[in-house]
Structure formats: C-alpha cells, structure tokens
Amino acid sequence: MSLSGKVALVTGASRGIGAAIARELRRRGARVAINYNSSREAAERLRRELGDGAEVFKADVSNRQEVRSMVEDVVGTFGGLDVVVNNAGIMELMPFEQLDEARLDRMWAVNVKGPIYVTLEALPHLKKSRGVVVNVASIAGIGTALANTTYYAITKAALIALTRRLAFDLAPYGIRVNAVAPSWIETDLTTRGRTREEVERAKSDIIGKTALRALAAPEDIARAVAFLASDDARLVTGQVLVVDGGRLDYLTHGV
C-alpha cells in the first residue's frame, strides 16, 4: 500500500482524525498538504513532525475563494495533486425541536459544501493524475442514532450521497471516489464540553454497542483512508467503508 510519488491534500489535518490521516499518508510515502483553518500552531507542529514532504495550507473549506487559493498553492508547491481527503468537519449538537439555523447552516457549509468546493477546485488536477477522492463521512449518516445528532447526521448522509454520485460523474476521468464512515472516536469533536467522566462513560457505552467490543481510534480511520487512496484499491469506487468495530445498533442496514 505504497503512496510513494503521490501528493495528498488532507483537509482539517491540524487535529484529530485528519492529523492521523496526514501521518499515515506521509508514512506510506505521499507528500502531504496539511490543511487547517484556525489551529495554525497544531498544523505547524504536525508539519515539523512529518518533516520534508509536508507543508501547511490555511483555508476555510466553506469559502470557495480560499479553497481555490489553497489548491493553487498546493499544486504550486508540490507540482500536482493525486489524492484529496475531505476530512474537515464540525458537529453542532442540537435536539431536532431546537433548531438553530445559523449552526445548521455552518455545519452544512463545512461538512457538505466544503467537500464540494475542495473536489471542484481540485478536479482539473485530479483529471491529470487520474486521482482519488476519499470523504470522511460518519456512521451517523447511515443510521446509528446518538442523541442530538440528527442535523449532523443529515450532513454526513449528504456526503455519502455525494460520494456515490461523484463515483459515477468522475469515473470517465479515471477518478475514484469513496468514503470512510467512522464510528465514535475520542477527539475534540466528541469530547468538547464533556467531563472526563462523561467521556469515559460514552466510550464504554459505545464499546458495549460493538460486536468486537472495541473503540475505533483515529489511526484505524487513517489506515482505511490510505487503502482507498492507494492503487491497491484501483477498482474500488462509490463505496462507503464503515470502520466501527461492528456496531449493533443500526437503525437501518441499507448502505
């Protein structure tokens, strides 16, 4: 599963799952563009850790102009683009009956429009490289139900629909499009605003819902992304790779 010779852009790579993906792709030989929005220091730290072959690029993925400049900079720096990992995402928790439209709009802009903008702006370069897109969705978009995540779930369901549609739209260019759907993973996204005790309770609750009695880690998602990004997956497109230890609590199984 070598990624040697490839250039990969990972959005939201300053922290959490995105940082693990950047590490894994670099470890497999790709040169990596680390995108961040607000966590500049964390992104710079990761760049230093990854050494030559990694650079940092700031852009809010929900801002098309910033995305356009970022992609131009990435291609200017590395000379091309082979792999796009749409990982940047946010989760705004709210009960269905307490809709906060501004927070829903922000989540939609980052989680859905972000991958659209990044893929659109990267497309001319992906056409040249017969590249790959990997979207980081969520099992929330398939059917597990965590309290107050209905609005988040629909953004991830949209991302899964986008993955499947783009697999058809971009196949004529030799571009593959897949998604990874993680379950609950301990990152800022899931621990913010929670006490240590609440986090530990959430973890054992999730473990109890898996067939393998295990919790996914960012590295598990990173390895799945690396596979989909590699030529080993050359005939895999339009797929959603669920990495969740076998969750037993799906509302539906209709992936």
User: Which residues of the chain form contacts with ligand NAP (CB under 6 A)?
Assistant: 11-12, 14-18, 35-39, 60-62, 87-91, 110, 136, 138, 182, 184-185, 187-190
Instruction: Indicate the residue among 37 and 230 with the shorter CB distance to ligand NAP.
Output: 37
Instruction: Indicate the residue among 142 and 167 with the shorter CB distance to ligand NAP.
Output: 142
Instruction: Indicate the residue among 171 and 211 with the shorter CB distance to ligand NAP.
Output: 211
CB atoms within 10 A of CB 26: 22
Q: Which two tokens stand for residue 235?
A: 């005939």
Report how many helices (DSSP H) and strands (DSSP E) the chain contains, helices first. Answer: 9, 7
In angstroms, what CA-CA distances link 86 with 12, 53, 225? Answer: 8, 20, 10
Q: What is the DSSP code (8-state) at residue 39?
A: -
Q: Which two tokens stand for residue 42?
A: 């964390």
Q: What is the DSSP code (8-state) at residue 136?
A: E
Least Å distance between CB 192 and ligand NAP? 7
> Helix, strand, or coil here: 249?
coil
**Catalytic site residue from 36, 151, 152, 173:** 152
Q: Which amino acid is at 17?
A: I
Instruction: Indicate the residue among 82 and 244 with the shorter CB distance to ligand NAP.
Output: 244
**Residue 152 bears catalytic tag:** yes
Least Å distance between CB 153 and ligand NAP? 10
Least Å distance between CB 235 and ligand NAP? 25
Q: Looking at 53-186, which runs of residues are DSSP E strands?
A: 54-58, 83-86, 132-136, 176-182
Least Å distance between CB 174 and ligand NAP? 26
Q: Which two tokens stand for residue 76?
A: 């200017």
Catalytic residues: 152
